Structure 1
Amino acid sequence: MIDMIAALQPLVVGAVLIWSARVKLLNRHAATVARRSALVRLVGEHRLLPAYRLLGAVELILGALLLLPPALRLETAAATAVAVGFLGYLTYARRTAPTSSCGCLSSRPTPVSGRSLGRAALLVAAAGLATVATGAWLAALTDRPLAGGVVLLAEAAAMVALSPELDAGWLLPLRRLRARLTNPLRGGTGLPLLATVQQVQLSDPYRRIAPLLRSDVREHWDDGEWRFVGHAARYQGRPATAVFAVPLVDGGPDAVRVAVVDDATGQTLLALAGAGRPAGPRLDVVPA
């Protein structure tokens, strides 16, 4: 198994190098990308773009050689040296110019992060493993296409996941989809929690017991046509919870009710209703 994985590494490293070279050689914003990188601190403004293009040419030639089987030991050794250079450069960039862009796989301005360093380390490991390969990647993939395909997909997924400049292509769409499916700012009824909190804060019961509150919203849940919002509170020296009952179908603050419940005994210490006194859960006053 390890022999097959090692044999596939020239394909992985070669593909990453060619993708990186594409940004440096073909992107029309290459000069801007180079200026945003830490490379300008190393070579200076006047030599910046030629050095950036030269690096892209080296990546393109080396990547093409790795993709043409068999990958020679000299080619894999050169790829390992380039990958180690990338890791060193990114470490330098993060320490000396933390706001500089990587300029590696995309023209998007993306500061060097731990993920960028992880990707470079993975590339070093892949290139190093390629140096001990005993066969060509094409033969390994032909002999075990399913296992080889799984390995390549896993490595490609790891490279993409460790590339923050590629987030716009996969991570942001996933986050938008999750937001549409889960509605994180909404309760189970679809009414935004913020709207409920605003309704509570405009109510007379909230103004009357505000001095008792010791936290923001700590919990909330829906039950039938009501939403209950809990705050930590303190009543006559006792730890308590202030539970506001807010009707989901009435947007007026006059409909809000509140009960202050002793945390230790569950006893209702205080109950208040707004001017509207809507039909709903009964919040009885039990004398302390």
Structure 2
Amino acid sequence: MIEVLAALQPLVIGAVLIWSARIKLFSRHAAAIANRSALVRLIGQRRALPAYRVLGGIELTLGALLLLPPALRLEAIAATGLAVGFLAYLTYARRVAPTSSCGCLSAQSTPVSGRSLTRAGLLVAAGALAVLATGGWWTALAARPLTGAAVLLAELAVVVALSPELDAAWLLPLRRLRAQLTHPLRGGSGVPLLATVQQLQLSQSYRRVAPLLRSDVREHWDDGDWRFVGHAALYQGRPVTAVFAVPMTDPEPDAVRVAVVDDATGQTLLSLAGTPQPAGPRLAVVPA
């Protein structure tokens, strides 16, 4: 099984590289993508687009070499080195320019996230595994077509799932389908979601974090006597989710609670209880 996995990795890496090169070389939005990326911070705005194009050329060349015979170990080593470079660049971008766009697989502007870093790490692992291959991917696929096809579909599905810039192609349609099937405005407990939203918008907790919010209701779920409502937000320059806890048995707005959770780490950065204290210092929320 390891031999099959190793032999199929050049096909996976090559497909990803060629898809990425397509954006860099042929997209009419390439200049805008480059200017939104951390390349501007790294090498300057004048050199960002040429470097972006050169990287696309390297990706296209190496991707084609990986897909075409013969299967050379040097190609796998080069792919591993390129993936390590991607991982280092994304780590740099996440640290020094957290709002910059990845510019990897789509013209969609999406900041570097934990998913992007995990995808780059997956490509590093795939490249290292490809170095161990003793034959070409076409040989492995011909010998075990069902197993090979299953492995390829699974790996490509993981790559897509780890690509925030591709969410519009699959994740948003799934969310729309869920909304059509579950009728979220009705709510799962018989309490209309609209009533819950009205209650939380009248609360002190909502008013204190309102400057941070960047979306309407993105998701909601019921747990016992509580309904949890999530909004996309930005806190101290990092993408977060503001999760409001609204009691379904208590219509008072002051009973609403909120927690601000870091999207990348899951850490709670800010938590506000429902009923404000009558005295004492107040926790200040600085708008992003």
Provide TM-score, normalisation by structure 1. Answer: 0.68
For residue 77 of structure 1, what is the amino acid of its counterpart?
I
Q: Which residue of 2 aligns with 1:218?
A: 225
* CA distance 1:53–1:196, shift in 2 (3 Å): closer
Q: Which residue of 1 aligns with 2:155?
A: 155
Q: Which residue of 1 aligns with 2:249?
A: 230
C-alpha displacement of 1:198? 7.3
Q: Which residue of 1 aligns with 2:127?
A: 127
Aligned pairs for 1:9-48 within 5 A:
9-48=9-48
Q: Which residue of 1 aligns with 2:233?
A: none
* CA distance 1:44–1:197, shift in 2 (3 Å): closer
Of residues 115-124 and 69-78 in structure 1, the stretch that sits farther from structure 2 once superposed is 69-78
CA contact (8 A) 1:33 1:101 kept: yes
* CA distance 1:198–1:9, shift in 2 (3 Å): closer
Q: Distance in 2 between matches of 1:194 and 1:77?
A: 56
For residue 95 of structure 2, what is the amino acid of its counterpart?
R
C-alpha displacement of 1:41? 1.5
* CA distance 1:193–1:58, shift in 2 (3 Å): closer
Q: Distance in 2 between matches of 1:164 and 1:34?
A: 17
For residue 250 of structure 2, what is the amino acid of its counterpart?
H
Q: Which residue of 2 aligns with 1:243?
A: none
Aligned pairs for 1:108-119 within 5 A:
108-119=108-119
- The superposition leaves residues 147-204 of structure 1 with CA deviations (integer Å, 9 ceiling, x where unpaired) of 00000000000000000000000000000100111122314698834359979xxxxx
- Is residue 182 of structure 2 the alignment partner of residue 182 of structure 1? yes
* CA distance 1:190–1:101, shift in 2 (3 Å): same
SS in 2 for 1:9: helix
* CA distance 1:78–1:196, shift in 2 (3 Å): closer
- Is residue 90 of structure 2 the alignment partner of residue 90 of structure 1? yes
For residue 27 of structure 1, what is the amino acid of its counterpart?
S
- Identity of aligned pairs, percent? 72
SS in 2 for 1:150: helix
Which 4+ stretches in 1 moved above 6 angstroms? 188-191, 196-199
For residue 10 of structure 1, what is the amino acid of its counterpart?
P
Of residues 61-70 and 187-196 in structure 1, the stretch that sits farther from structure 2 once superposed is 187-196
* CA distance 1:197–1:56, shift in 2 (3 Å): closer
* CA distance 1:188–1:9, shift in 2 (3 Å): closer
CA contact (8 A) 1:8 1:137 kept: yes
CA contact (8 A) 2:39 2:45 kept: no
CA contact (8 A) 1:17 1:59 kept: yes
- The superposition leaves residues 81-139 of structure 1 with CA deviations (integer Å, 9 ceiling, x where unpaired) of 00000000000000000000000000110000000000000000001110110111000
- Is residue 81 of structure 2 the alignment partner of residue 81 of structure 1? yes
CA contact (8 A) 1:3 1:133 kept: yes
C-alpha displacement of 1:71? 2.1
Q: Distance in 1 between matches of 2:48 and 2:226?
A: 55
SS in 1 for 2:225: strand
SS in 1 for 2:250: strand
SS in 1 for 2:249: strand
For residue 225 of structure 2, what is the amino acid of its counterpart?
R
C-alpha displacement of 1:49? 1.2
- Is residue 145 of structure 2 the alignment partner of residue 138 of structure 1? no
Structure 2 unaligned regions, length at least 5: 200-223, 228-247, 253-288
Cα root mean square deviation, aligned: 2.4
CA contact (8 A) 2:184 2:193 kept: no
Q: Which residue of 2 aligns with 1:281?
A: none
Structure 1 unaligned regions, length at least 5: 200-216, 221-228, 234-288
Q: Which residue of 1 aligns with 2:63?
A: 63
CA contact (8 A) 1:20 1:105 kept: yes
